[in-house]
Copies of this chain bind each other. A is one copy, B any other.
Amino acid sequence: MNQVHVQQIECLLVLSEELHFGRTAARLGYSPSRASQLLSALERRVGVRLVERTSRRVSLTRFGAQFVEEVRPAYENLSTTFLRARDRAMRGALRELRLGFHGSVYEQVTEAFRLLRAEHEVTVTLSEIPLGSPFSAVLEGRLDAALVELPVHDPALTVGFRFPPQEQLLAVGTAHPLASREGVRVEELAEFDLLRPVGDAPDYWMAARVPPTTPSGRPIRSGTGINTVQEGLALVAAGTHAMLVCRPMAQSISRTDVRCLPISEWEEPSQLGLVRRTADTGPQLTALAGLLAEVYGGDSPCYAGLSPAPGSRDIA
Protein backbone atom coordinates (compact mmCIF):
# COMPACT_ATOMS: atom_id res chain seq x y z
CA MET A 1 0.00 0.00 0.00
CA ASN A 2 2.45 2.56 1.18
CA GLN A 3 5.34 1.26 -0.83
CA VAL A 4 6.85 2.10 -4.16
CA HIS A 5 4.88 0.68 -7.07
CA VAL A 6 7.29 -0.14 -9.83
CA GLN A 7 4.56 -0.34 -12.37
CA GLN A 8 3.46 3.21 -11.74
CA ILE A 9 7.00 4.47 -11.98
CA GLU A 10 7.55 2.60 -15.23
CA CYS A 11 4.40 4.13 -16.58
CA LEU A 12 5.50 7.62 -15.64
CA LEU A 13 8.94 7.15 -17.15
CA VAL A 14 7.59 5.87 -20.44
CA LEU A 15 4.96 8.57 -20.48
CA SER A 16 7.63 11.20 -19.93
CA GLU A 17 9.22 10.01 -23.17
CA GLU A 18 6.11 9.44 -25.24
CA LEU A 19 3.93 12.24 -23.86
CA HIS A 20 1.02 10.16 -25.12
CA PHE A 21 -1.10 7.79 -23.07
CA GLY A 22 -1.98 5.51 -25.96
CA ARG A 23 1.58 4.88 -27.06
CA THR A 24 2.71 4.57 -23.47
CA ALA A 25 0.12 1.88 -22.81
CA ALA A 26 1.06 0.10 -26.03
CA ARG A 27 4.73 0.09 -25.12
CA LEU A 28 3.96 -1.32 -21.71
CA GLY A 29 1.48 -3.81 -23.06
CA TYR A 30 -1.84 -2.76 -21.62
CA SER A 31 -4.82 -0.58 -22.38
CA PRO A 32 -4.77 3.22 -22.36
CA SER A 33 -7.17 3.30 -19.46
CA ARG A 34 -4.73 1.33 -17.37
CA ALA A 35 -2.04 3.87 -18.07
CA SER A 36 -4.38 6.62 -16.99
CA GLN A 37 -5.29 4.75 -13.82
CA LEU A 38 -1.68 3.98 -12.96
CA LEU A 39 -0.64 7.55 -13.39
CA SER A 40 -3.46 9.02 -11.37
CA ALA A 41 -2.77 6.48 -8.65
CA LEU A 42 0.86 7.57 -8.62
CA GLU A 43 -0.16 11.21 -8.47
CA ARG A 44 -2.50 10.41 -5.59
CA ARG A 45 0.33 8.72 -3.74
CA VAL A 46 2.87 11.45 -4.40
CA GLY A 47 0.33 14.11 -3.63
CA VAL A 48 0.67 16.44 -6.60
CA ARG A 49 -0.09 16.49 -10.28
CA LEU A 50 2.85 15.14 -12.25
CA VAL A 51 1.43 15.40 -15.74
CA GLU A 52 -0.65 18.18 -17.24
CA ARG A 53 -3.08 16.72 -19.74
CA THR A 54 -5.80 17.87 -22.02
CA SER A 55 -7.25 15.53 -24.57
CA ARG A 56 -4.87 17.01 -27.12
CA ARG A 57 -1.62 17.60 -25.33
CA VAL A 58 0.28 15.80 -22.57
CA SER A 59 3.11 17.53 -20.77
CA LEU A 60 5.00 17.06 -17.57
CA THR A 61 4.35 19.38 -14.68
CA ARG A 62 7.32 21.29 -13.37
CA PHE A 63 7.30 19.00 -10.34
CA GLY A 64 6.73 15.99 -12.57
CA ALA A 65 9.79 16.78 -14.65
CA GLN A 66 11.95 17.07 -11.55
CA PHE A 67 10.44 13.90 -10.16
CA VAL A 68 11.22 11.99 -13.34
CA GLU A 69 14.73 13.37 -13.32
CA GLU A 70 15.24 12.03 -9.82
CA VAL A 71 13.43 8.74 -10.07
CA ARG A 72 14.67 7.54 -13.44
CA PRO A 73 18.26 6.81 -12.44
CA ALA A 74 17.15 5.20 -9.19
CA TYR A 75 14.68 3.00 -11.03
CA GLU A 76 17.12 2.03 -13.73
CA ASN A 77 19.69 1.23 -11.12
CA LEU A 78 17.40 -1.17 -9.33
CA SER A 79 16.16 -2.64 -12.54
CA THR A 80 19.55 -3.38 -14.05
CA THR A 81 20.85 -4.65 -10.73
CA PHE A 82 17.99 -7.10 -10.67
CA LEU A 83 18.43 -8.18 -14.26
CA ARG A 84 22.17 -8.60 -13.91
CA ALA A 85 21.65 -10.77 -10.86
CA ARG A 86 19.05 -12.83 -12.66
CA ASP A 87 21.39 -13.25 -15.58
CA ARG A 88 24.13 -14.46 -13.30
CA ALA A 89 21.71 -16.80 -11.58
CA MET A 90 20.72 -18.35 -14.89
CA ARG A 91 24.35 -18.88 -15.81
CA GLY A 92 24.89 -20.34 -12.35
CA ALA A 93 27.50 -17.71 -11.80
CA LEU A 94 28.53 -16.00 -8.63
CA ARG A 95 29.67 -12.45 -8.30
CA GLU A 96 32.34 -13.25 -5.81
CA LEU A 97 34.90 -16.01 -5.99
CA ARG A 98 36.62 -17.08 -2.76
CA LEU A 99 40.12 -18.34 -3.36
CA GLY A 100 42.75 -19.63 -0.98
CA PHE A 101 46.50 -19.66 -1.47
CA HIS A 102 49.74 -20.77 0.09
CA GLY A 103 52.57 -18.37 0.80
CA SER A 104 52.04 -15.71 -1.83
CA VAL A 105 50.11 -14.97 -5.02
CA TYR A 106 52.20 -14.32 -8.09
CA GLU A 107 51.75 -11.37 -10.38
CA GLN A 108 50.54 -13.44 -13.29
CA VAL A 109 47.75 -14.72 -11.07
CA THR A 110 46.63 -11.29 -9.92
CA GLU A 111 46.71 -10.26 -13.58
CA ALA A 112 44.33 -13.11 -14.31
CA PHE A 113 42.08 -11.89 -11.48
CA ARG A 114 42.08 -8.45 -13.02
CA LEU A 115 41.03 -9.88 -16.37
CA LEU A 116 38.38 -11.99 -14.71
CA ARG A 117 36.92 -8.96 -13.04
CA ALA A 118 36.96 -6.99 -16.26
CA GLU A 119 35.60 -9.65 -18.57
CA HIS A 120 33.24 -11.62 -16.36
CA GLU A 121 32.19 -9.22 -13.60
CA VAL A 122 33.61 -11.53 -10.99
CA THR A 123 35.51 -10.22 -8.01
CA VAL A 124 38.01 -12.41 -6.20
CA THR A 125 38.52 -12.54 -2.46
CA LEU A 126 41.72 -14.11 -1.24
CA SER A 127 42.57 -15.77 2.03
CA GLU A 128 45.66 -17.64 3.05
CA ILE A 129 45.13 -21.25 4.02
CA PRO A 130 47.21 -23.34 6.43
CA LEU A 131 50.21 -24.86 4.72
CA GLY A 132 49.29 -28.35 5.82
CA SER A 133 45.56 -28.22 5.02
CA PRO A 134 45.35 -27.37 1.34
CA PHE A 135 42.02 -29.03 0.56
CA SER A 136 39.77 -28.90 3.60
CA ALA A 137 38.53 -25.35 3.08
CA VAL A 138 37.53 -26.19 -0.50
CA LEU A 139 35.98 -29.52 0.46
CA GLU A 140 33.94 -27.89 3.22
CA GLY A 141 32.75 -25.19 0.87
CA ARG A 142 34.38 -22.29 2.71
CA LEU A 143 36.40 -21.59 -0.43
CA ASP A 144 35.61 -22.05 -4.10
CA ALA A 145 39.13 -23.03 -5.06
CA ALA A 146 42.67 -23.09 -3.75
CA LEU A 147 45.99 -22.31 -5.36
CA VAL A 148 47.98 -25.10 -3.74
CA GLU A 149 50.67 -27.66 -4.46
CA LEU A 150 49.75 -30.78 -6.36
CA PRO A 151 49.13 -33.65 -6.50
CA VAL A 152 45.49 -34.17 -5.66
CA HIS A 153 44.04 -37.64 -5.57
CA ASP A 154 40.50 -37.09 -4.43
CA PRO A 155 37.48 -37.77 -6.67
CA ALA A 156 35.70 -34.84 -4.99
CA LEU A 157 38.43 -32.46 -6.15
CA THR A 158 39.55 -31.45 -9.64
CA VAL A 159 42.53 -29.50 -10.87
CA GLY A 160 41.22 -26.61 -12.98
CA PHE A 161 44.63 -25.38 -14.04
CA ARG A 162 48.20 -26.63 -13.61
CA PHE A 163 50.88 -23.99 -13.18
CA PRO A 164 54.30 -24.50 -14.71
CA PRO A 165 56.33 -26.90 -12.54
CA GLN A 166 59.05 -25.23 -10.53
CA GLU A 167 62.44 -26.39 -9.31
CA GLN A 168 62.67 -26.88 -5.55
CA LEU A 169 65.39 -25.23 -3.49
CA LEU A 170 66.57 -25.77 0.05
CA ALA A 171 66.20 -22.79 2.34
CA VAL A 172 68.69 -22.58 5.19
CA GLY A 173 69.65 -19.94 7.72
CA THR A 174 72.94 -18.06 7.44
CA ALA A 175 74.16 -19.92 10.55
CA HIS A 176 73.45 -23.30 8.96
CA PRO A 177 76.41 -25.59 8.05
CA LEU A 178 75.27 -25.49 4.40
CA ALA A 179 75.03 -21.72 4.27
CA SER A 180 78.38 -21.18 2.69
CA ARG A 181 77.82 -23.82 -0.02
CA GLU A 182 76.66 -23.01 -3.57
CA GLY A 183 74.39 -26.04 -3.72
CA VAL A 184 73.49 -29.30 -2.10
CA ARG A 185 73.19 -32.88 -3.41
CA VAL A 186 69.88 -34.60 -2.86
CA GLU A 187 71.42 -37.42 -0.84
CA GLU A 188 72.65 -34.85 1.66
CA LEU A 189 69.05 -34.11 2.64
CA ALA A 190 69.15 -37.19 4.86
CA GLU A 191 71.60 -35.42 7.13
CA PHE A 192 69.26 -32.60 8.15
CA ASP A 193 65.88 -32.05 9.70
CA LEU A 194 63.40 -30.67 7.14
CA LEU A 195 60.42 -28.58 8.21
CA ARG A 196 57.13 -30.27 7.55
CA PRO A 197 53.65 -28.73 7.11
CA VAL A 198 51.12 -29.84 9.71
CA GLY A 199 47.45 -30.17 8.95
CA ASP A 200 44.80 -32.55 7.69
CA ALA A 201 46.26 -33.05 4.23
CA PRO A 202 46.29 -36.64 2.98
CA ASP A 203 49.52 -38.62 3.45
CA TYR A 204 50.41 -38.75 -0.26
CA TRP A 205 50.32 -34.94 -0.33
CA MET A 206 52.50 -34.66 2.78
CA ALA A 207 54.95 -37.13 1.26
CA ALA A 208 55.16 -34.99 -1.85
CA ARG A 209 56.02 -31.94 0.26
CA VAL A 210 58.74 -33.65 2.29
CA PRO A 211 59.91 -36.93 0.72
CA PRO A 212 60.29 -39.66 3.38
CA THR A 213 63.57 -40.81 1.82
CA THR A 214 66.22 -39.68 -0.62
CA PRO A 215 66.20 -41.27 -4.11
CA SER A 216 68.63 -43.89 -2.84
CA GLY A 217 66.42 -44.75 0.09
CA ARG A 218 68.06 -42.94 3.00
CA PRO A 219 65.39 -41.67 5.40
CA ILE A 220 64.83 -37.92 5.67
CA ARG A 221 63.99 -36.59 9.09
CA SER A 222 61.21 -34.05 9.53
CA GLY A 223 60.55 -33.58 13.18
CA THR A 224 59.24 -30.02 13.30
CA GLY A 225 55.88 -28.95 11.94
CA ILE A 226 54.92 -25.52 10.59
CA ASN A 227 51.60 -23.91 9.76
CA THR A 228 52.67 -21.22 7.31
CA VAL A 229 55.59 -20.42 5.07
CA GLN A 230 56.48 -17.40 7.17
CA GLU A 231 56.55 -19.57 10.27
CA GLY A 232 58.92 -21.91 8.47
CA LEU A 233 61.18 -19.09 7.34
CA ALA A 234 61.37 -17.74 10.86
CA LEU A 235 62.51 -21.15 12.12
CA VAL A 236 64.98 -21.48 9.24
CA ALA A 237 66.47 -18.08 9.95
CA ALA A 238 66.65 -18.64 13.69
CA GLY A 239 68.09 -22.11 13.94
CA THR A 240 69.48 -25.09 12.14
CA HIS A 241 66.28 -26.12 10.35
CA ALA A 242 66.00 -26.43 6.60
CA MET A 243 62.96 -26.17 4.39
CA LEU A 244 62.07 -26.99 0.81
CA VAL A 245 60.72 -24.09 -1.21
CA CYS A 246 59.94 -23.67 -4.89
CA ARG A 247 61.84 -21.20 -7.01
CA PRO A 248 59.22 -18.40 -7.21
CA MET A 249 58.76 -18.63 -3.46
CA ALA A 250 62.53 -18.40 -2.97
CA GLN A 251 62.58 -15.33 -5.21
CA SER A 252 59.93 -13.65 -3.14
CA ILE A 253 61.82 -14.09 0.14
CA SER A 254 63.15 -10.73 1.13
CA ARG A 255 65.01 -11.61 4.31
CA THR A 256 68.81 -11.49 4.45
CA ASP A 257 69.15 -14.22 7.07
CA VAL A 258 67.91 -16.98 4.73
CA ARG A 259 69.65 -18.48 1.70
CA CYS A 260 68.19 -20.83 -0.89
CA LEU A 261 70.41 -23.54 -2.40
CA PRO A 262 69.72 -25.51 -5.58
CA ILE A 263 69.48 -29.25 -5.04
CA SER A 264 71.49 -31.25 -7.57
CA GLU A 265 70.63 -34.75 -8.81
CA TRP A 266 66.97 -34.27 -7.92
CA GLU A 267 64.23 -34.08 -10.53
CA GLU A 268 61.07 -33.63 -8.54
CA PRO A 269 59.67 -30.21 -9.27
CA SER A 270 56.81 -28.76 -7.27
CA GLN A 271 53.72 -27.76 -9.14
CA LEU A 272 50.88 -25.46 -8.12
CA GLY A 273 47.34 -26.12 -9.23
CA LEU A 274 43.94 -24.44 -9.10
CA VAL A 275 41.98 -26.99 -7.08
CA ARG A 276 38.19 -26.92 -6.98
CA ARG A 277 35.33 -29.21 -6.07
CA THR A 278 34.51 -31.62 -8.87
CA ALA A 279 30.81 -31.01 -8.21
CA ASP A 280 31.24 -27.25 -8.61
CA THR A 281 30.82 -26.71 -12.32
CA GLY A 282 30.33 -22.95 -12.15
CA PRO A 283 31.58 -21.07 -15.20
CA GLN A 284 33.77 -18.59 -13.32
CA LEU A 285 36.37 -21.15 -12.33
CA THR A 286 36.51 -22.37 -15.90
CA ALA A 287 36.92 -18.77 -17.01
CA LEU A 288 39.66 -18.23 -14.44
CA ALA A 289 41.48 -21.36 -15.63
CA GLY A 290 41.27 -20.10 -19.20
CA LEU A 291 42.63 -16.71 -18.21
CA LEU A 292 45.47 -18.29 -16.27
CA ALA A 293 46.38 -20.36 -19.32
CA GLU A 294 46.28 -17.17 -21.37
CA VAL A 295 48.46 -15.26 -18.95
CA TYR A 296 50.97 -18.10 -18.76
CA GLY A 297 51.43 -17.94 -22.52
CA GLY A 298 49.43 -20.31 -24.67
CA ASP A 299 47.10 -22.89 -23.24
CA SER A 300 49.78 -25.55 -22.78
CA PRO A 301 51.35 -25.24 -19.34
CA CYS A 302 55.11 -25.24 -19.69
CA TYR A 303 58.22 -24.59 -17.66
CA ALA A 304 58.80 -21.22 -19.26
CA GLY A 305 56.08 -19.51 -17.28
CA LEU A 306 57.83 -17.77 -14.44
CA SER A 307 60.94 -16.36 -16.02
CA PRO A 308 63.34 -15.79 -13.13
CA ALA A 309 65.16 -12.51 -13.30
CA PRO A 310 68.81 -13.30 -14.13
CA GLY A 311 71.17 -12.80 -11.24
CA SER A 312 68.40 -12.70 -8.70
CA ARG A 313 69.15 -13.68 -5.17
CA ASP A 314 67.62 -17.16 -5.19
CA ILE A 315 70.91 -19.05 -5.16
CA ALA A 316 72.87 -16.77 -2.93
Contacts and interface: CB of A to CB of B under 8 A. Distances in A.
Interface of A: 3-7, 9-10, 45-48, 62-63, 66-67, 70-71, 74-75, 77-79, 81-82, 84-86, 88-90, 92, 94-96
A46 B94 contact: no
Given A6-B3, A45-B86, A70 B81 contact: yes
Q: What DSSP secondary structure best describes chain A's contact surface?
A: helix
Contacts of A92: 48
Nearest to A95: B66
Contact of A78 (B62, B63, B77, B95): B77
Given A66-B95, A74-B77, A95-B70, A4 B89 contact: no
Q: How often does this chain occur in the complex, in copies?
A: 2
15 contacts: A3-B6, A4-B6, A9-B82, A45-B86, A46-B85, A46-B86, A47-B89, A63-B89, A63-B94, A66-B94, A66-B95, A70-B84, A71-B81, A74-B82, A75-B78
A85 B67 contact: yes
B3 A96 contact: no
B95 A48 contact: no
A262 B34 CA distance: 68
Contacts of A89: 46-48, 63, 67
Nearest to A83: B4
A5 B63 CA distance: 26
A63 B144 CA distance: 13
A63 B284 CA distance: 14
B81 A47 contact: no
A82 B7 contact: no
Contact of A4 (B70, B71, B82): B82
Contact of A77 (B77, B82, B96): B77
A77 B78 CA distance: 8
Given A45-B86, A74-B74, 8 more contacts: A3-B10, A46-B86, A46-B89, A48-B92, A67-B89, A71-B81, A74-B78, A77-B78
B7 A90 contact: no
A71 B66 contact: no
A125 to B, nearest CB: 11
A74 to B, nearest CB: 4
A88 B77 CA distance: 22
Nearest to A68: B85
A98 to B, nearest CB: 9
Contacts of A96: 66
